[in-house]
Amino acid sequence: MFFFGKRSQSVNMDKNTLPVHIAIFLDGNGRWASQRGLPRSAGHREGANNLKKIVRYSHEIGIKYLTVYAFSTENWSRPKDEVDALMSLLLEFLKNADKEIAGKNIKIKVIGDSNGLTEDIKKEIVRVTENTKNNNGLTLVIALNYGSRSEIVEMVRRIAIDVKKGGLNTDAINEQLVSNYLYTAGLPDPDLVIRPSGENRLSNFLLWQSSYAELWYSNILWPDFSKKDLLHAIEEYQRRNRRYGGVGK
């Protein structure tokens, strides 16, 4: 069931049945800027500022895991000046994360292929991950240079290597073992996937992990996505009957 989000006045969210893990596409930044006659980089910066607000608010209401699609493996095909601006913004975001996000008892984890990232970004990933590893509030997972298909290919390669070395028996390969070889090992699968901006597809994001996630689509561009929009998505999630292939109630 897909819900196309609409802004309404009332929100009826049950704090006792919150999704444990929410995944969000940070989508529509460039279009947001174009609609205002601004360069696309301005939209990405506004989107980054909005991300900080949504992360802090998600922590406040009790969400345990929040995964955001910050930069995909396909995003390298964008114009070089836009990619450079995005990388600069990501570096700035990571450098300030301790003060602006992690200081709120938020743990930060980065998933994806580090190949292609600058040494400065790699260094900041190591630093912010290490500095926040003992925080026990919300876990912010940043999908950076991430693509689900490449993640699955890498998982298969690593399993094949371990089988070839003799450390893994093929009879031991099951869904849980596969999950343990993914970038998201140790994290629960997302319960709710939110995609703003009017696009209605998964775009190579958490394909294995989102097998039974509830999907919530909206025409709202990410920089305009508000706390109330997040609450509406959660409210809709709570109204659904998650049957996992069964009959349900």
Instruction: Say if residue 189 is exposed, middle or buried (CB neighbours under 10 Å; 0-12, 13-18, 19+).
Output: middle
Residues 6+ apart with CB under 8 A from 127: 94
Instruction: Say if residue 129 is exposed, middle or buried (CB neighbours under 10 Å; 0-12, 13-18, 19+).
Output: middle
CA–CA separation, 239 vs 249, rounded Å? 13
Instruction: Say if 218 falls within a structural domain.
Output: no
Instruction: Say if 172 falls within a structural domain.
Output: no
DSSP assignment of 6-19: ---S-----GGG--
Active site residues: 27, 75
CA–CA separation, 172 vs 23, rounded Å? 29
Q: Please determine, for residue 243, whether its predicted confidence score (pLDDT) is greater than 90.
A: no
Between the alpha carbon of residue 133 and those of residues 51, 57, 63, 110, 128, the distances in Å are 20, 20, 17, 12, 8
CATH of the domain at 99: 3.40.1180.10
Q: Check residue 15 and give its pLDDT.
A: 85
pLDDT in tens, 68-91: 999 999 999 999 999 999 999 999
Domain that holds residue 87: 18-147+228-239
> Mean pLDDT over residues 30-50, rounded?
96
Quote the mean pLDDT of the chain.
92
CA–CA separation, 169 vs 162, rounded Å? 9
Q: Please determine, for residue 246, whether its predicted confidence score (pLDDT) is greater than 70.
A: no
8 pLDDT band, cuts 50/70/90, is very low
> Mean pLDDT over residues 155-166, rounded?
97
Q: Please determine, for residue 9, whether its predicted confidence score (pLDDT) is greater than 60.
A: no
Instruction: Say if 107 falls within a structural domain.
Output: yes
CA torsion, ordered 158, 182, 115, 146, to nearest 10 deg? 150
Instruction: Say if 170 falls within a structural domain.
Output: no
Residue 91, sorted as left (phi over 0), alpha (psi -120 to 50) or beta, turns out to be: alpha
Instruction: Say if 34 falls within a structural domain.
Output: yes
> Mean pLDDT over residues 169-184, rounded?
97
Instruction: Say if 221 falls within a structural domain.
Output: no
Q: Check residue 245 and give its pLDDT.
A: 66
104 pLDDT band, cuts 50/70/90, is confident
> Mean pLDDT over residues 140-145, rounded?
98
4 pLDDT band, cuts 50/70/90, is very low
Q: Check residue 133 and give its pLDDT.
A: 94
Between the alpha carbon of residue 153 and those of residues 113, 170, 186, the distances in Å are 12, 17, 19
Number of domains in the chain: 1
CA–CA separation, 184 vs 66, rounded Å? 12
Q: Check residue 63 and give its pLDDT.
A: 97
Helix pair angle (40-61, 227-239), 10° resolution: 60
Query: Can you read off the two tokens belonging to residue 227?
Result: 């706390």
Instruction: Say if 73 falls within a structural domain.
Output: yes
Strand-pairing partners, residue 71, are 144
Q: Check residue 6 and give its pLDDT.
A: 47
Instruction: Say if 121 falls within a structural domain.
Output: yes
Query: Can you read off the two tokens belonging to residue 12?
Result: 């009826």
